[in-house]
Structure 1
Amino acid sequence: MQTTVAAVTMVRDDPFFLRIWLDYYGTRLGRENCYVVNHGRGAGVSAMAAGCNIIGIPGEHHKNFDMRRWRLLNNLVMGLRVYYDHVIVGDVDELVVVDPAAGKDLVPWLAAIPADRVLTPLGLEVIHRIDLEPEPIAGKVLGPRRHVRVAPHYSKPCVISAGTKIARGGHFASHDKLHAPDELYLFHLKFCDFPAYVEVMNARNAVAAATGVGVKEASIGRHWFAEARGEDRALFEGFAVLPKLEGFQMGPYRRRMHRSFKPRGDTGFWEFARPDYNEQHELPERFLGLF
């Protein structure tokens, strides 16, 4: 399959999310345009991602894991940009999605986007309403899961067609213009399934513990540490009490992004306000079955 779009992620022994990532991007871009950094050279990752461009790297645990990871991803994205019009980069539990109301899927939609831009989708966190959604995720995520909350923390500058530098974690870029198209979303899947969440967090806690340092000494996301985890079931039960807003009006959230867009101090990066929104929305039918 010929395409002008590539997708890049890094993964370590995370089959639940890797399967979803591969099904989504592999179908749309062709696996030959998917780049999977296999941290630790896991045989399971290599087998599942067969047909992709697999980059095996050593798997030792390091307190500066996130810093190292984004240094690698930055350079990989900038190299691939020479050969692709757009490069999508992000964690394995993140998917960039075009609203079906646009009438186009991801690749044809991006084909109409001018080059030399950095696109920032609006972040939507899929939440598992364990009180309403007892069925497991066996194939598609959206359908069994229908509820999201707006998550500015995951409104990431992640579709790259310009020379830029991305900050650790992928949350900021050095690009000084904000392009946040109305049709573009980033779905974050960390909380999309309670059993999967428990399994993944157990694995991440083990990785963090293997570094031998605590939260304050490490360049790793705080959520990787057992001391910052909290009680899993209470977290998911809390989703039920989030106020539910009628309709699916996302324009106000994007307008707040634009109004607050500014330099991030003297770091060379740009940012917008990232408040916590404690409301939930039910996805319109048109999104169900996309992944």
Structure 2
Amino acid sequence: MQSTGAVVTMVRDDLFFLSAWLRHYGPVFGRENLYIVNHGRGEAVAKLAEGCNIIGIPGDPHKNFDMKRWRLLNNLVAGLKSYYKHVVVGDVDELVVVDPEEGKTLLEFLEEQPEKRVLTPLGLEVVHRIDLEPEAITDRILGPRRHVRIAPHYSKPCVVSVGTKIARGGHYTQYGKLHTPDCLYLLHLKFCDFPEYAAAMNRRNAVVQEIGGGLKDTAIGRHWFAEARGEDRAVFEAFADLEIVEGFDMRAYRRKMHRSFGPRGDTGYYEFARPDYEAQFLLPERFSGLF
């Protein structure tokens, strides 16, 4: 029974992403060390996540649910940190990976890391190039999908081994140092498959409509609102316009994170610049099959 690492997420009906999350973390950490908040107590979620620690909560629509969600996740992380060296926390469509070139699993990597810190993996958004990648996703995402773009918005301080507070959305913490191991990445899967994207957006638009109110009332990301959605196919066709950068050297992007790191005003949180990069990379073949 390992006590090096636990993984925490919250999910409501996103079975496609939960399946990938379980494939990635389950064999490495053991399902007994995975903690899933089942928002709405969905039976399909509970069945898929059998063997994990499932925390069922009511699914009634209410305003400020994202704020309440992160309050719950913060407290879960704080509690689990008393029993594990490291706690990985994030959305169900965000997976922390170690570059296979290291020859280590994520758990093996964490066993070697000092405690009392927060690790921030570099964010990479997996994008479905519908002009180049016709293969449907079955049991694996990486392989059928290998194009990524740099996503500073998803370079999240999400591996926690110190007492700190995480801001709503998971983008900032109150830990005043920046640790960005060269081999650590966070892969964001929102755009990894065109059909699944459309289905997920339909579900999220429906949640917002059920809650009622506008962006300021709900404390939900703008991307959940139908008026901010745009035309789905156009979103994916635009990925072809991103410049393709040869190679896979991410050191310059991490250096930029460090150069801009500092206090986020007087909030008590810390941040780094999150520019939009109009570039894409091809994941090396060694990443294929990770999940």
Q: Normalising by the residue count of structure 1, what TM-score does the alignment of the two structures yield?
A: 0.99
Offset of residue 3 of structure 1: 4.2
1:126 Cα deviation from its structure 2 partner: 0.1
Aligned length: 291
Question: How far did residue 215 of structure 1 move?
Answer: 1.8
Q: Deviations over 1:35-63 (max 9, x none)?
A: 00000011111111100000000111112
Q: Matches of 2:3 and 2:30 in 1, distance apart?
A: 8
The answer to whether residue 161 in structure 2 is matched with residue 157 in structure 1 is no
Match of 1:263 in 2: 263
CA distance in structure 1 between the aligned counterparts of 2:227 and 2:176, rounded to whole angstroms: 37
Matches within 5 A, 1:51-66: 51-66=51-66
Please give the alpha-carbon distance, in whole angstroms, between the structure 2 residues aligned to 1:180 and 1:275.
17
Aligned equivalent of 1:280? 280
Q: 1:2: how far off?
A: 2.5
Q: Which amino acid aligns with 1:178?
A: L
Aligned to 1:30: 30
CA contact (8 A) 1:123 1:186 kept: yes
Alpha-carbon distance in 1 for matches of 2:3, 2:101? 22
Structural mapping, 1:7-46, within 5 Å: 7-46=7-46
CA deviation digits over 1:219-267, x for unaligned, max 9?
0111111011000000000001111000111000000000000000000
Contact kept? 1:3, 1:29, Cα under 8 Å = no
Question: In 1, distance between residues paired with 2:259 and 2:45?
Answer: 41
Match of 1:252 in 2: 252
**Following the alignment from structure 2 to structure 1, what is the Cα–Cα distance between the partners of residues 139 and 278?**
28
Tell me, in whole angstroms, the C-alpha distance in 2 between the residues paired with 1:133 and 1:244. 15
Please give the alpha-carbon distance, in whole angstroms, between the structure 2 residues aligned to 1:57 and 1:40. Answer: 6
Any gaps of 5 or more consecutive residues in structure 2? none
SS of 1:20's equivalent? helix
- SS of the equivalent of 2:18 reads helix
CA–CA distance in structure 2, aligned partners of residues 27 and 20 of structure 1? 12
State whether structure 2 residue 184 is matched by structure 1 residue 187: no
Counterpart CA distance in 1 for 2:103 and 2:25 is 18
Deviations 1:118-140 (A, max 9, x none): 00000000000000000111011
- Residue 216 of structure 1 deviates from its aligned partner by 2.9
Q: CA RMSD in A?
A: 0.7
Counterpart in the other structure of 1:148: 148
| Equivalent pair of 1:8/1:88 in contact (CA under 8 Å) | yes
The 8 Å contact of residues 3 and 83 in structure 2, kept in 1 or not, is answered as no
Percent identity, aligned pairs only, is 70
